[in-house]
Amino acid sequence: MGHAQPTTVITNKFIEDLGVGTTAAWIEEKIGILTRVTSLPLEYIVETKNSDPRKATAVASTSPYELGLKASQMALERAGIKGSEVGLLIVNCCTPKFIAPTEFQKIATALNVTGSAYNVFTACPAFALHLDFINSFRRENLPKYVLCVSTATLTHHVNYNDRTDGAIWGDGAAAWVVSTQKNGRLNLVYSSFMSDPTRCDAVVVDTFKYFRQDGRAVRNFSVMQTVKLVKQLEDRFDINWERDIFIGHQANKTMLDQIINNREIPSSNHWYNVDRVGNQAGAGAPAVISENWDKIKSGSKIAVAVVGAGLSWGSALFEVV
């Protein structure tokens, strides 16, 4: 697995000092995020509040493609393979900067991927979608290696005049190499993906303007659906929260705390990064695994439950080999 993020940090104090009606203390109490990472220059945010998102792309220090590429390179190195060995590349990007060549085409070219490549997209629950998508293929139809990437620069679609949106989002990418022919450190035991598109307007990224969401409805959905997903995993599999690890969608820390309290998951076995990097959409949960790659323990399980735009949701359960 691999991950990548920009280096510019937005602190809660920075957001407070923007003067949009929020405080550092409020942000920490309500959403549990202390810092988030962005590819935007801080001066640009102060001067413009990102009033014209088109200009964000021009001033950004990095792009979804570059972040996706870096995450991919880390994942390939850890897998011990070259890009030319990848037979299928699938990418999830909710902030594309190109119609053509797209982020997946640029990553494929940079890594010398000669197999098939296309977008497989659902925004935040991409980790579950990609795993479930690949898991549904007939084995003989899968190439030896599949590279999955989720990348986004959602801070480009933040209205920094809004007192909540600026506190949520971070930019970042994650990548994971999967194979049905070669053993790895994580063995996928189960995957699921589902959606309720009748509620798809609850979370929107406007191509030309900003992110918007029905905050209360999405928060309630996120907590309830994640709890359901975790319960389903608990009912079907031998999960022991003293041994096994839980990773949720990295949307906000207070929501995750509600979930682990509901499922009685000890905080020591709850892995997250949202408090440091913000909500990185589809990259969030897989980036957590990547960041902890050297800490995962043989014999344990990692349960991932992700929810988000669409509205869509999914889960994955891994045995650590």
For the record, the structure tokens of 82 come out as: 């070259």
Counting other chains too, the contacts that 29-33 makes at CB distance below 8 Å and 24 or more residues apart are 29/254, 30/254, 31/164, 31/167, 31/168, 31/252, 31/253, 31/254, 31/255, 32/252, 32/253, 32/254, 32/256, 32/257, 32/274, 32/275, 33/167, 33/168, 33/252, 33/253, 33/274, 33/275, 33/278, 33/279
We find the least distance from the C-beta atom of residue 79 to other proteins, in angstroms, to be: 22
Task: Tell me the one-letter amino acid at 277.
Answer: V
Residue 195 or 262 with smaller CB distance to other proteins:
195
Residue 61 or 195 with smaller CB distance to other proteins:
195
Q: Give the residue, chosen from 181, 207, 268, 298, that forms a contact with other proteins under the rule CB under 8 A.
A: 207
Instruction: Residue 11: count other Cβ atoms within 10 Å of its Cβ.
Output: 14
101: preceding bond cis by omega (within 30 degrees): yes
We find the least distance from the C-beta atom of residue 269 to other proteins, in angstroms, to be: 30
Type and span of the H or E element at 199: none
- Asked if 89 and 149 count as a contact pair (C-beta separation under 8 A), the reply is yes
Q: Is 98 in the site for other proteins (CB under 8 A)?
A: yes
We find the least distance from the C-beta atom of residue 265 to other proteins, in angstroms, to be: 27
Region of 112 on the Ramachandran plot (φ > 0 left; ψ -120 to 50 alpha; else beta) = left
From the list 27-35, 69-77, 136-144, 214-222, the region that binds other proteins by CB under 8 A is 136-144
Q: Give the residue, chosen from 37, 45, 123, 177, that forms a contact with other proteins under the rule CB under 8 A.
A: 123
Residue 114 or 187 with smaller CB distance to other proteins:
114
Site string for other proteins, 51-90 (x = CB under 8 A): ---x--x---------------------------------
Q: Is 138 in the site for other proteins (CB under 8 A)?
A: yes
- Asked if 94 and 100 count as a contact pair (C-beta separation under 8 A), the reply is no
Q: Is 181 in the site for other proteins (CB under 8 A)?
A: no
Residue 145 or 211 with smaller CB distance to other proteins:
211
Contact residues for other proteins (CB under 8 A)?
54, 57, 94-102, 104-105, 109, 114, 116-123, 129, 133, 136-138, 141-142, 193-201, 203-208, 211, 309-310, 312
